[in-house]
Every structure is written in C-alpha cells, then in structure tokens.
Amino acid sequence: MNQSDRQRVVVTGTGWVTPLGCEIESVWQALLAGQSAVGAISHFDASTYPTTFAAEVRDFDARQHMTRPDLHEHIGWSASFALAAANLAWKSAGLGATNSVDRERTGIYLGSGEGTLDFDNYAGTNINSWDPDSQSINATQWITTAHQRLDPHRETEQEANMALHHIALDLEVRGPAYNCLTACAASTQAIGEATDILRRGDADVMIAGGSHSMIHPLGITGFNRLTALSTHNENPTGASRPFNRNRDGFVIGEGAGIVILETLDHALKRGANILAELIGYGSSSDAFRVTDMHPDSRGAVAAMRGAITDAGIAPDEVNYISAHGTGTSENDSVETRAIRTLFGEHAPHIPISSIKSMTGHLIAAAGVVEFIVCVLAIRDRIIPPTINLDAPDPECDLDYVPNEARNADVRTALSNSFGFGGQNDTVVVCRFDD
C-alpha cells in the first residue's frame, strides 16, 4: 500500500502499570527525576538466589481498574496488569463508558507473555529455594503432585492470550483480536501490527500493547542460569547500568502498557485529543543464536531502517531514540553499533536513553512502556535520563543522556525492542501536525 493511500494512525490514549506506579504523570515525573524502582524481591523468598532483587509492581489493586470486577474473579497477575493499563488508556482517550466507538470496529493486539505459573498450590515442595549445588528446582516433586494441587482456573490464566480475553470482556470490544509472544520485542510488534490493521481499514480503533511478569522462581532461575541477570545484590538501585562499562546483566521488572491507536479520520470525527502520530514500523530477524544478537548488528539495523523507510523520513529527522538498552554486555554494544551504522554522522547528535535503568526490563511489556515515554518526550520536550551511567563503556560512545533529564525539542522519536530468538522491532512516532 502506498503511503499516500493508507490511513494515518494517531495515539489518543495511554495507560501503564509499572514498578514506579500506575498514574501516567507521576511515573513520568519519577522517570525524569531518575528514580529507580529496583528493590529486594518480595513475591517469594529469593534470599538464596544469585539475584535477590527486581523491579516489582507494588501496592497494586487490580479491582480499582475494572469496569466489571465480577467478570474477572480468576484473573492472573500479568493479565490484571494489562486490564488495568487498558482501562486507564481507554479513559485517557476520552472513551470511558461512552458509545462513541463501534465495538465491532475496535480491536486488540497485545504482546503478552505467559501468566505467572501456579506456584502457590505446590505446598510442600522446595519451590522457593535455590539449591546452590544443583542450581535447579525440584521439578520431579512438582510434576508428581501437580494433578492433585493445580487449580483449573489458575491453569487457564497461565495462557498468554488471557490478557486479551479480559480486556475484550471488560471493554466489550469485538473487533480484530491478536496476541504475539516474541519475547522482549512483543509489545512493540503489537503496536506496529495494530498500526497496519488500522492503515488497511480493518478497524477504526486498536487497543495495543502488552503485559508480563516473570518475577517468580522459574523466571529468576532461568535467567540466572543464562547468566543474563545482574547479581549486583549489594546495590540493587545501581544494578541496572545500560552502556556502563561495569554492567553485568539486566534487572528484571514487570508490568504492562496500553496505547489507544485510531485512524486519524476516526479520531478527528469524535473530537479526540491527539497525543502523537505513529508513522513508521519495521521488523526483522537476526537469524542467529537464541540469546545473542548478531555481532554485526544486521537485525537491529534492518528493523530501524525499515521503520524509517516506512515513515517516509530521512535518518537525520530522528531526534530521540528510546534504546532497548538492557544493561547486558552484548546488547548495549551491538545496539550502539547498529545506531552508528544506520545514522552515520548523525548518530553522535541523537540523544539516546534507556529507562530500563530505572524500571528494570519489563520483558514483553518493555516496548510499549518505552513507546509511551517517547510520546511524553514529544509532548513535554524533555528526554528522561539513563541513570547509573558514571563509567561509560568506550564501545558505547554515543549520547546516552547520562543521569539527568534533558530539555530537547523532540519532534520525531524512534523506539527499539530486541528479543531473545532474534526478533527485532522498531516504531517511529512524531508530533502530530494536522
């Protein structure tokens, strides 16, 4: 489809559930202030694990964000994040309980991970202990007792598409419905694919984003075994250190984010407050190793180039990049290399930051939360910092907005998400000009 023939897509609502809170403005101010959400794990006893900290969602009451709480008696933890974010975004878009949208022309595209496993019902197992000798959890005992202990409702809530179900049920939307699970790229992919649905004219409104929580024994065990997590237990708030030469892995977080996307015609017709315009989407695969980005950065370059081409802009029109910036040795250096490769002489002049330094890595939900940050940076003309960047890696030699927010006239922002398995997704959003 030619750019001139396709529908323009705009952002009219935002909502999130993050380790820093659920209210858009207070979380945004915390990010601008460089506030870390990382602390000791409280969801289970992690005292014997190599990593004892995470960025958890705390003091969260899902029922406060449900239109019909009676419909969600068995909702899982991750799905409850998504439902809350969706309701917050719905209200932010000025939709509320109104009938200003055709529910059959309103769809959902989520990038949501599997729900939290049913650990609570495995009483008597060693589920909350790390065995330093075997570095494994007693899986045999789980399996032996599972048929006796597993709650059937909890079983269904472990499915990745349950967040979609609860949102559709609560908001009574009956349009196109999709869920993808492409690891850390998932919610960015969901935003991009939802944009294409709107461009084709298959819907008027799309609820897009994602949710995830892997702060449970299996999640922490798995990432520790992959040596992907930071073990900076003596200083949790300083553990997420993207682009720092002393970085030792990512800090796991949890949460959700949702944006309301509409065709421009539909948004204007109902008098919506337009926050930004989504103009580009690119996707690629590294076709390399499961946990490693290709060292020549080919996948990341392809995704960013695809998004810029789709947007119909020149690379030097990008004036902020929300980096994937996990704080792992490989990711940060490869992403830097990709930006240098694509943007050339313009690369050192682009402010780049990673909010994962404050929120931790929200896995499948990371991309949408970072996309919302781009929208807010455009709105307020200010860029959040990358905190804990006091010893820059010589290989990471770009402008990462270290430690303090920066005023900047952000008109066009690019947001990167790169997932295990080599999935790469990039979106471009700009200030709306009618």
List the domain range (segments joined by +) for residue 254: 9-117+158-430
Instruction: Report residue 149's pLDDT band, with 50, 70 and 90 as the boundaries.
Output: low
Which residue of the set 232, 361, 374, 396 is catalytic? 361
Q: What is the DSSP string of 355-378?
A: THHHH-B-GGGHHHHHHHHHHHHH
Alpha helices in 172-233 (DSSP H): 186-200, 217-225
Query: Which pLDDT does position 120 carry in this prediction?
Result: 47
Percent of the chain with pLDDT over 90: 75
Query: Which pLDDT does position 117 carry in this prediction?
Result: 54
Percent of the chain with pLDDT over 70: 86
Which residue of the set 43, 212, 216, 324 is catalytic? 324
Q: What is the mean pLDDT of residues 110-127?
A: 56
Instruction: Report residue 241's pLDDT band, with 50, 70 and 90 as the boundaries.
Output: very high
**Per-residue pLDDT at 279 exceeds 50:** yes
Catalytic (active site) residue 184: yes
Q: Is residue 3 part of a domain?
A: no
Give the SS3 label for residue 277: strand
**Per-residue pLDDT at 118 exceeds 60:** no
What's the mean pLDDT when you consider all of the chain?
Answer: 89
Q: Is residue 143 part of a domain?
A: no
Nearest in space to 362 (alpha carbons), one of 139, 211, 200, 165: 211
Q: What is the mean pLDDT of residues 21-25?
A: 97
**Per-residue pLDDT at 126 exceeds 60:** no
* CA distances (Å), origin 291, targets 168, 183, 224, 420, 422: 33, 11, 13, 5, 7
Question: Distance between CA atoms of 122 and 143, rounded to whole angstroms?
Answer: 10
Q: What is the mean pLDDT of residues 251-276?
A: 97
Q: Is residue 172 part of a domain?
A: yes
Instruction: Report residue 245's pLDDT band, with 50, 70 and 90 as the boundaries.
Output: very high
Mean pLDDT lowest among 13-22, 153-162, 294-303, 383-392: 153-162
Mean pLDDT lowest among 40-54, 146-160, 283-297: 146-160
Query: Which pLDDT does position 97 carry in this prediction?
Result: 62
- Tens of pLDDT, residues 302-361: 999 999 999 999 999 999 999 999 999 889 999 999 999 999 999 999 999 999 999 999
Q: Is residue 243 part of a domain?
A: yes
Q: What is the mean pLDDT of residues 100-112?
A: 93
Question: Distance between CA atoms of 81 and 16, rounded to whole angstroms?
Answer: 8
Q: What is the mean pLDDT of residues 53-60?
A: 96
Query: Which pLDDT does position 157 carry in this prediction?
Result: 64
* CATH number of the domain bearing residue 37: 3.40.47.10
Domains in the chain: how many in total?
Answer: 1
- Tens of pLDDT, residues 175-234: 999 999 998 999 999 999 999 999 999 999 999 999 999 999 999 999 999 999 999 999
Which tokens hold the place of 34?
Answer: 């460089």
Question: Distance between CA atoms of 136 and 418, rounded to whole angstroms?
Answer: 28
Q: Is residue 102 part of a domain?
A: yes
Determine contact, residues 291/397, Cβ cutoff 8 Å. no
Catalytic (active site) residue 324: yes
Tallying the residues shown for the chain, one arrives at 434
Q: Is residue 419 part of a domain?
A: yes
Q: What does the H/E/C string look like for 90-118?
A: HHHCCCCCCCCCCHHHEEEEEECCCCCCC
Rounded to 5°, the CA angle 348-429-280 comes to 95
Q: Is residue 122 part of a domain?
A: no
Determine contact, residues 231/247, Cβ cutoff 8 Å. no
Q: What is the DSSP string of 33-68?
A: TT----EE--SS--TTSS--EEB---S--GGGG-S-
**Per-residue pLDDT at 112 exceeds 80:** yes
Give the SS3 label for residue 201: coil
Q: Is residue 140 part of a domain?
A: no
N- to C-terminal Cα separation, the chain = 22
**419 or 313, which is more confident?**
313
Which residue of the set 43, 72, 166, 184 is catalytic? 184
Determine contact, residues 244/297, Cβ cutoff 8 Å. no
